[in-house]
Structure 1
Amino acid sequence: MMVADLIEVLLVEDDPGDVLMTREAFADNKVKNNLNVVTDGVEALAFLRREGKYADAPYPDLILLDLNLPKKDGREVLAEIKADEKLAHIPVVVLTTSGANEDILSSYRLHANAYVTKPVDFEQFIRVVRQIDDFFVGVVKLPRP
């Protein structure tokens, strides 16, 4: 993939502060991308399946997924993504406050591509999100549908 390509990222996050910090990290980064945000698990699956108001939603190249979500928990969303042959190839980075080993283990068992614990410090959070962006957008070859 060429760096000039527009990368579509889906952020599944219900915390407005974390959404704002993620937008900030992406806005200042050198790699061109488009950050789409949904705030719960049901909305995430509707976006990915292009249902209802998401009929014209862009197809994401990368998903940043919080585990603790309203309506449908992030673990359930991850399981549904990886069980759906149309979605399973999309890299999913779990980006959550939980550092619990059981959450890490269950996420990888559900085929998460990476598990990242959100730093509470603003500058560290920005740095971590930029590193995810740099790695998945600048280093990794992402599949195109």
Structure 2
Amino acid sequence: MADDDLDYHLIVKCALEEVGFRGVLQEVRDGAELMDFLNRRGRHKNAKLPDLIILDLNMPVMDGRSALLKINEDPQLRSIPVAVLTTSSSAEDMEFCKRFTGCSFSIKPATYQEWTKSIQKILRICLPSQ
């Protein structure tokens, strides 16, 4: 999960537990750290590639759009499903995300119950075998 807001990290972690997700949630704070994680650089040198990336668009250092472009440029990373979960409701952002195969777009929910439903939907779409 790549999001600069730690409150969202906690919400997603709790929602994943509630829906019975048994995987490991790896957390990073921005797109640059996500790319370090995916490319196993620095403190992430022993990282395992994720089965799914949950990505915010609006982050410091490197935003989610730039990270998504870099992910798409790499044949190994391109195969990882990306679930964009953002506060942005702009048509431009939605269209941007549609350009990428395996990328879903959702607006961050307002209530915890909606978060749980959103996470369930993301898992069903992006990780159907789970």
TM-score with structure 2 length normalisation?
A: 0.92
Equivalent residue in structure 2 for 1:71, among 61, 65, 68: 61
Tell me what 1:24 maps to. 14
Alpha-carbon shift at residue 133 of structure 1 (Å): 2.1
- Unaligned segments of structure 1, at least 5 residues: 1-10
Separation in 1, partners of 2:75, 2:11: 32
Q: After the TM superposition, which residues 1-145 of structure 1 pair with which residues of structure 2 at under 5 Å, given as runs?
A: 11-111=1-101, 113-137=103-127, 139=128
CA deviation map 1:15-61 (0-9, x unaligned):
11111100001112223211100001110000000001100012101
Alpha-carbon shift at residue 86 of structure 1 (Å): 1.8
Separation in 1, partners of 2:77, 2:54: 14
The one-letter amino acid paired with 2:63 is D
- Unaligned segments of structure 2, at least 5 residues: none
The one-letter amino acid paired with 1:54 is H
Separation in 2, partners of 1:98, 1:112: 19
Greater shift in the superposed pair: 77-86 or 29-38: 29-38
Alpha-carbon shift at residue 120 of structure 1 (Å): 1.5
Separation in 1, partners of 2:69, 2:102: 9
Are the aligned partners of 1:31 and 1:134 in contact in 2 as well (CA < 8 Å)?
Answer: no
- The aligned length equals 130
Higher helix share: 2
SS in 2 for 1:43: helix
Separation in 2, partners of 1:67, 1:109: 15
Are the aligned partners of 1:26 and 1:133 in contact in 2 as well (CA < 8 Å)?
Answer: no
Identity value in percent = 34
Separation in 1, partners of 2:101, 2:69: 8
Are the aligned partners of 1:95 and 1:118 in contact in 2 as well (CA < 8 Å)?
Answer: yes
Alpha-carbon shift at residue 100 of structure 1 (Å): 0.8
Separation in 1, partners of 2:25, 2:69: 22
Are the aligned partners of 2:3 and 2:30 in contact in 1 as well (CA < 8 Å)?
Answer: yes
TM-score with structure 1 length normalisation?
A: 0.83
4+ residue runs over 6 A deviation: none
